[in-house]
Amino acid sequence: MPILSAILCGVIFCFSFIIFFILPHIKYFDGCLTTAELMGQIYGTKTRFTIGILGSFYTITLVTLQIIWLGNVAGLLGMPKLWGLIFGGTFLIIYSATGGIKSVTITDLIQFIAVTIMIPMITYVVLNKVGGMKSLITKIPTQHFDILHHPHFKDYLIYCVWYIFPAFPLSFPFIQRMLMARNNKQLTNSYYISMFALIVFFGLLILIGLSSIVLKETGDVNMRLL
Protein backbone atom coordinates (compact mmCIF):
# COMPACT_ATOMS: atom_id res chain seq x y z
CA MET A 1 0.00 0.00 0.00
CA PRO A 2 2.73 2.59 0.77
CA ILE A 3 4.38 1.70 -2.54
CA LEU A 4 1.09 2.17 -4.41
CA SER A 5 0.70 5.60 -2.86
CA ALA A 6 4.28 6.40 -3.86
CA ILE A 7 3.54 5.41 -7.47
CA LEU A 8 0.21 7.25 -7.83
CA CYS A 9 1.04 10.39 -5.87
CA GLY A 10 4.79 10.52 -5.38
CA VAL A 11 5.69 9.64 -8.97
CA ILE A 12 2.85 10.17 -11.45
CA PHE A 13 1.14 13.18 -9.86
CA CYS A 14 4.26 14.83 -8.43
CA PHE A 15 6.43 14.42 -11.53
CA SER A 16 3.58 15.54 -13.80
CA PHE A 17 3.19 18.66 -11.67
CA ILE A 18 6.91 19.39 -11.99
CA ILE A 19 6.96 18.74 -15.76
CA PHE A 20 3.95 20.93 -16.59
CA PHE A 21 4.15 23.69 -13.98
CA ILE A 22 7.75 24.06 -12.81
CA LEU A 23 10.10 23.08 -15.63
CA PRO A 24 8.61 25.49 -18.25
CA HIS A 25 9.50 28.37 -15.94
CA ILE A 26 13.07 27.34 -15.18
CA LYS A 27 15.56 30.03 -16.11
CA TYR A 28 19.28 29.41 -16.27
CA PHE A 29 21.94 31.71 -14.91
CA ASP A 30 25.51 31.72 -16.15
CA GLY A 31 27.94 30.21 -13.69
CA CYS A 32 25.23 28.97 -11.29
CA LEU A 33 25.23 25.32 -10.24
CA THR A 34 24.01 25.65 -6.65
CA THR A 35 21.09 27.25 -4.86
CA ALA A 36 23.41 29.68 -3.07
CA GLU A 37 24.90 30.93 -6.35
CA LEU A 38 21.46 31.29 -7.86
CA MET A 39 20.03 33.23 -4.93
CA GLY A 40 23.21 35.33 -4.77
CA GLN A 41 22.73 36.60 -8.32
CA ILE A 42 19.13 37.53 -7.60
CA TYR A 43 19.24 38.88 -4.04
CA GLY A 44 22.90 39.64 -3.34
CA THR A 45 25.87 38.41 -1.32
CA LYS A 46 24.16 38.30 2.10
CA THR A 47 21.41 36.04 0.79
CA ARG A 48 23.98 33.83 -0.92
CA PHE A 49 25.86 33.45 2.37
CA THR A 50 22.64 32.62 4.28
CA ILE A 51 21.55 30.03 1.73
CA GLY A 52 25.03 28.54 1.81
CA ILE A 53 24.81 28.11 5.60
CA LEU A 54 21.37 26.50 5.31
CA GLY A 55 22.64 24.22 2.57
CA SER A 56 25.52 23.16 4.79
CA PHE A 57 23.14 22.19 7.59
CA TYR A 58 20.96 20.33 5.10
CA THR A 59 23.94 18.40 3.71
CA ILE A 60 25.38 17.62 7.15
CA THR A 61 22.00 16.19 8.20
CA LEU A 62 21.81 13.93 5.15
CA VAL A 63 25.40 12.75 5.52
CA THR A 64 24.78 12.00 9.21
CA LEU A 65 21.76 9.87 8.33
CA GLN A 66 23.78 8.03 5.69
CA ILE A 67 26.58 7.33 8.17
CA ILE A 68 24.06 5.97 10.70
CA TRP A 69 22.59 3.79 7.97
CA LEU A 70 26.05 2.43 7.11
CA GLY A 71 26.54 1.55 10.79
CA ASN A 72 23.24 -0.36 10.80
CA VAL A 73 24.22 -2.20 7.61
CA ALA A 74 27.52 -3.19 9.23
CA GLY A 75 25.56 -4.53 12.21
CA LEU A 76 23.35 -6.63 9.93
CA LEU A 77 26.45 -8.09 8.29
CA GLY A 78 27.82 -9.14 11.67
CA MET A 79 30.42 -6.39 11.88
CA PRO A 80 30.75 -3.88 14.74
CA LYS A 81 28.55 -0.85 14.05
CA LEU A 82 31.40 1.43 15.10
CA TRP A 83 33.49 0.17 12.19
CA GLY A 84 30.70 0.95 9.77
CA LEU A 85 30.33 4.42 11.23
CA ILE A 86 34.05 5.20 11.12
CA PHE A 87 35.01 3.72 7.75
CA GLY A 88 31.76 4.57 6.00
CA GLY A 89 31.75 8.10 7.38
CA THR A 90 35.37 8.69 6.41
CA PHE A 91 34.73 7.45 2.88
CA LEU A 92 31.63 9.64 2.45
CA ILE A 93 33.33 12.76 3.75
CA ILE A 94 36.48 12.37 1.64
CA TYR A 95 34.56 11.34 -1.48
CA SER A 96 32.05 14.21 -1.22
CA ALA A 97 34.62 16.84 -0.27
CA THR A 98 37.05 16.08 -3.10
CA GLY A 99 34.66 15.07 -5.89
CA GLY A 100 32.52 18.18 -6.30
CA ILE A 101 29.93 18.08 -9.09
CA LYS A 102 31.63 15.03 -10.62
CA SER A 103 31.05 13.03 -7.43
CA VAL A 104 27.33 13.85 -7.60
CA THR A 105 27.10 12.62 -11.19
CA ILE A 106 29.18 9.49 -10.57
CA THR A 107 27.18 8.63 -7.44
CA ASP A 108 23.89 8.95 -9.32
CA LEU A 109 25.25 6.74 -12.11
CA ILE A 110 26.49 4.05 -9.71
CA GLN A 111 23.19 4.02 -7.83
CA PHE A 112 21.25 3.76 -11.09
CA ILE A 113 23.35 0.82 -12.31
CA ALA A 114 23.10 -0.94 -8.95
CA VAL A 115 19.32 -0.56 -8.78
CA THR A 116 18.70 -1.57 -12.41
CA ILE A 117 20.72 -4.76 -11.90
CA MET A 118 19.87 -5.83 -8.34
CA ILE A 119 16.12 -5.15 -8.16
CA PRO A 120 15.21 -7.09 -11.35
CA MET A 121 17.47 -9.96 -10.22
CA ILE A 122 15.79 -10.14 -6.81
CA THR A 123 12.36 -9.95 -8.45
CA TYR A 124 13.24 -12.82 -10.78
CA VAL A 125 14.55 -14.98 -7.93
CA VAL A 126 11.54 -14.54 -5.60
CA LEU A 127 9.02 -14.90 -8.43
CA ASN A 128 10.75 -18.08 -9.54
CA LYS A 129 10.56 -19.48 -6.00
CA VAL A 130 6.85 -18.67 -5.85
CA GLY A 131 6.24 -20.38 -9.17
CA GLY A 132 5.71 -17.47 -11.52
CA MET A 133 3.22 -14.65 -11.88
CA LYS A 134 0.14 -16.89 -12.16
CA SER A 135 1.13 -18.79 -9.06
CA LEU A 136 1.69 -15.51 -7.20
CA ILE A 137 -1.79 -14.25 -8.07
CA THR A 138 -3.45 -17.48 -6.93
CA LYS A 139 -1.42 -17.90 -3.72
CA ILE A 140 -1.46 -14.34 -2.38
CA PRO A 141 -3.91 -14.05 0.58
CA THR A 142 -6.97 -12.01 -0.43
CA GLN A 143 -6.91 -9.87 2.73
CA HIS A 144 -3.82 -8.09 1.41
CA PHE A 145 -5.93 -6.60 -1.40
CA ASP A 146 -8.63 -5.28 0.94
CA ILE A 147 -7.25 -1.74 0.97
CA LEU A 148 -10.26 0.12 2.36
CA HIS A 149 -10.51 -2.14 5.42
CA HIS A 150 -6.80 -2.37 6.04
CA PRO A 151 -5.93 -1.66 9.73
CA HIS A 152 -3.35 0.95 8.64
CA PHE A 153 -5.49 2.53 5.92
CA LYS A 154 -5.44 5.98 7.60
CA ASP A 155 -1.66 5.92 7.85
CA TYR A 156 -1.32 5.02 4.17
CA LEU A 157 -3.81 7.75 3.25
CA ILE A 158 -1.46 10.23 4.92
CA TYR A 159 1.34 8.87 2.71
CA CYS A 160 -0.77 9.64 -0.36
CA VAL A 161 -1.46 13.21 0.76
CA TRP A 162 2.21 13.68 1.70
CA TYR A 163 3.45 12.51 -1.70
CA ILE A 164 1.04 14.80 -3.56
CA PHE A 165 2.93 17.91 -2.46
CA PRO A 166 6.24 18.06 -4.35
CA ALA A 167 8.38 19.49 -1.55
CA PHE A 168 11.64 18.01 -2.84
CA PRO A 169 11.95 20.55 -5.71
CA LEU A 170 13.00 23.00 -3.01
CA SER A 171 15.84 20.76 -1.83
CA PHE A 172 19.41 21.76 -2.59
CA PRO A 173 20.39 18.59 -4.54
CA PHE A 174 17.25 18.84 -6.67
CA ILE A 175 17.94 22.43 -7.72
CA GLN A 176 21.57 21.58 -8.38
CA ARG A 177 20.59 18.77 -10.74
CA MET A 178 18.13 21.04 -12.53
CA LEU A 179 20.81 23.70 -13.05
CA MET A 180 23.15 21.06 -14.49
CA ALA A 181 20.80 20.46 -17.44
CA ARG A 182 21.64 22.12 -20.76
CA ASN A 183 18.15 23.37 -21.50
CA ASN A 184 14.48 22.93 -20.62
CA LYS A 185 13.92 20.27 -23.28
CA GLN A 186 16.67 18.05 -21.91
CA LEU A 187 15.39 18.58 -18.38
CA THR A 188 11.80 17.73 -19.35
CA ASN A 189 12.86 14.57 -21.19
CA SER A 190 14.92 13.46 -18.20
CA TYR A 191 11.87 13.76 -15.96
CA TYR A 192 9.69 11.75 -18.33
CA ILE A 193 12.34 9.02 -18.31
CA SER A 194 12.66 9.22 -14.52
CA MET A 195 8.90 8.95 -14.06
CA PHE A 196 8.72 5.82 -16.24
CA ALA A 197 11.77 4.27 -14.53
CA LEU A 198 10.35 4.90 -11.05
CA ILE A 199 7.00 3.36 -11.98
CA VAL A 200 8.80 0.21 -13.14
CA PHE A 201 11.03 0.28 -10.05
CA PHE A 202 8.13 0.51 -7.60
CA GLY A 203 6.22 -2.11 -9.59
CA LEU A 204 9.11 -4.54 -9.12
CA LEU A 205 9.17 -3.71 -5.40
CA ILE A 206 5.47 -4.62 -5.20
CA LEU A 207 6.20 -7.98 -6.82
CA ILE A 208 9.05 -8.60 -4.37
CA GLY A 209 6.82 -7.72 -1.41
CA LEU A 210 3.92 -9.89 -2.55
CA SER A 211 6.25 -12.79 -3.32
CA SER A 212 7.80 -12.47 0.13
CA ILE A 213 4.33 -12.65 1.70
CA VAL A 214 3.53 -15.83 -0.24
CA LEU A 215 6.85 -17.44 0.68
CA LYS A 216 6.31 -16.53 4.32
CA GLU A 217 2.75 -17.90 4.31
CA THR A 218 3.92 -21.14 2.71
CA GLY A 219 6.62 -21.59 5.33
CA ASP A 220 9.73 -20.81 3.34
CA VAL A 221 12.71 -21.06 5.70
CA ASN A 222 14.43 -17.99 4.26
CA MET A 223 11.35 -15.83 4.96
CA ARG A 224 10.95 -16.54 8.66
CA LEU A 225 12.63 -13.28 9.59
CA LEU A 226 10.16 -11.14 7.63
Confidence of residue 3 (pLDDT cuts 50, 70, 90): low
Provide the pLDDT for residue 37: 83
Confidence of residue 197 (pLDDT cuts 50, 70, 90): confident
Confidence of residue 100 (pLDDT cuts 50, 70, 90): low
SS3 readout for the chain: CHHHHHHHHHHHHHHHHHHHHHHHHCCCCCCCCCHHHHHHHHHCHHHHHHHHHHHHHHHHHHHHHHHHHHHHHHHHCCCCHHHHHHHHHHHHHHHHHHHCHHHHHHHHHHHHHHHHHHHHHHHHHHHHHHCCHHHHHHHCCHHHHCCCCCCCHHHHHHHHHHHHCCCHHHCHHHHHHHHCCCCHHHHHHHHHHHHHHHHHHHHHHHHHHHHHHHHHHCCCHHHCCC
pTM exceeds 0.85, yes or no:
no
- Mean pLDDT score, 159-170: 65
Whether pLDDT at 138 is above 80 = yes
- Mean pLDDT score, 113-130: 84
User: In percent, how much of the chain has pLDDT > 70?
Assistant: 75
